[in-house]
Amino acid sequence: SQELEQSPQSLIVQEGKNLTINCTSSKTLYGLYWYKQKYGEGLIFLMMLQKGGEEKSHEKITAKLDEKKQQSSLHITASQPSHAGIYLCGADRGNGGATNKLIFGTGTLLAVQP
Amino acid sequence: GAVVSQHPSWVICKSGTSVKIECRSLDFQATTMFWYRQFPKQSLMLMATSNEGSKATYEQGVEKDKFLINHASLTLSTLTVTSAHPEDSSFYICSARKTGRGTGELFFGEGSRLTVL
């Protein structure tokens, strides 16, 4: 079965610093989603990547999917306290067609110190 | 704003009672919705797929008689935790895809926290 591993598990950065969160899959990723979650709350959709080498940005957050479609990274530039939360990567369980059923990574807890 | 809404946000019940959680898609129709659960400090695990007009499909290890799913309309799916026990206490989240202009966005509700005493 497919597994997603995220690293690091937790991260504390000083406000204004850049950071990167990684998500590695044991299988080729068909669709890779990034979400942010505040503890005990719902998931906020950030980005979805499908094509090898794809890169998307929204405000100060950039997500990339490698050419082999087995690894994705989420990069935050000039972090702010509002970026704090749990970041989850999710992969579509399909092997070539979208199922909309996601397997989630273990999550990365981000704290940003003012 | 939210495109998938859940109700209630939190519920506390006594052991042995049943609890219903609603998941609504706002401003769009969803023939398929998904229910996940999340234990404290753990990631989300898919429980079942809710299909409008037909039976839900459950993931391995999820008791279908315990977690009743009804997809009553194209905008509403309900999850009923029957005869709830403390081990059912968890955070339940639903998701639905909003089809449109190729954004590929899969939206999640705000979640419903269930505490069984």
A with B: how many residue pairs have Cβ under 8 Å apart? 52
User: Are A45 and B46 in contact (CB < 8 Å)?
Assistant: no
State whether residue A102 sits within 8 Å of chain B by CB: yes
pLDDT at A99 (0 to 100): 80
Which residue in B39, B55, B51, B48 sits closest to B90, CA to CA?
B39
Give the model's confidence band at B101: pLDDT under 50 very low, under 70 low, under 90 confident, else very high: very low
State whether residue B51 sits within 8 Å of chain A by CB: no
Round to whole Å and give the CA distance between B117 and B114: 10
| Cross-strand bridge partners of residue A47 | A34
Give the residue on B whose Cα is nearest the Cα of A87: B43
pLDDT at B99 (0 to 100): 64
What φ, ψ does residue A90 adopt, rounded to 5°? -135, 140
User: Are A102 and B111 in contact (CB < 8 Å)?
Assistant: no
Please give the angle made by the CA atoms of B21, B24 and B29, to the nearest 5 degrees: 145
pLDDT at B1 (0 to 100): 57
State whether residue B80 sits within 8 Å of chain A by CB: no
State whether residue B60 sits within 8 Å of chain A by CB: no
In this predicted structure, the answer to whether residue B29 has a pLDDT above a threshold of 70 is yes
Tens digit of each residue's pLDDT (9 = 90 or more) over B54-98 = 899 999 999 999 999 999 888 999 999 999 999 999 999 999 987
- Measure Cα distances from B47 to A53, B33, B93 in Å: 32, 11, 10
Tens digit of each residue's pLDDT (9 = 90 or more) over A55-92 = 999 999 999 999 888 999 999 999 999 999 999 999 98
Give the model's confidence band at B102: pLDDT under 50 very low, under 70 low, under 90 confident, else very high: very low
User: Are A100 and B105 in contact (CB < 8 Å)?
Assistant: no
B6–chain A nearest CA distance, Å: 10
State whether residue A50 sits within 8 Å of chain B by CB: yes
| Token digits of residue B21 | 């959680």
What φ, ψ does residue A99 adopt, rounded to 5°? -110, -20
Share of chain B above pLDDT 90, in %: 71
Round to whole Å and give the CA distance between A95 and A104: 16
CB nearest to A45's CB, from B34, B93, B105: B105
In this predicted structure, the answer to whether residue A106 has a pLDDT above a threshold of 90 is no
pLDDT at B70 (0 to 100): 93
User: Are B43 and A48 in contact (CB < 8 Å)?
Assistant: no
State the average pLDDT over residues B46-50: 94
| B114 close to B21: Cβ distance less than 8 angstroms | yes
- 């705000």: which residue's tokens? B110
Q: Which helix (H) or strand (E) holds B40?
A: none
Test the A interface: residue of B106, B112, B115 with most A CBs within 10 Å: B106
State the average pLDDT over residues A24-32: 88
| Token digits of residue B61 | 């290890």
Please give the angle made by the CA atoms of A6, A26 and B47, to the nearest 5 degrees: 75
| Cross-strand bridge partners of residue A21 | A74
Round to whole Å and give the CA distance between B57 and B39: 21
Residue B52, C-beta contacts closer than 8 angstroms, at least 6 positions apart: B30, B31, B32, B71, B73, B74, B77
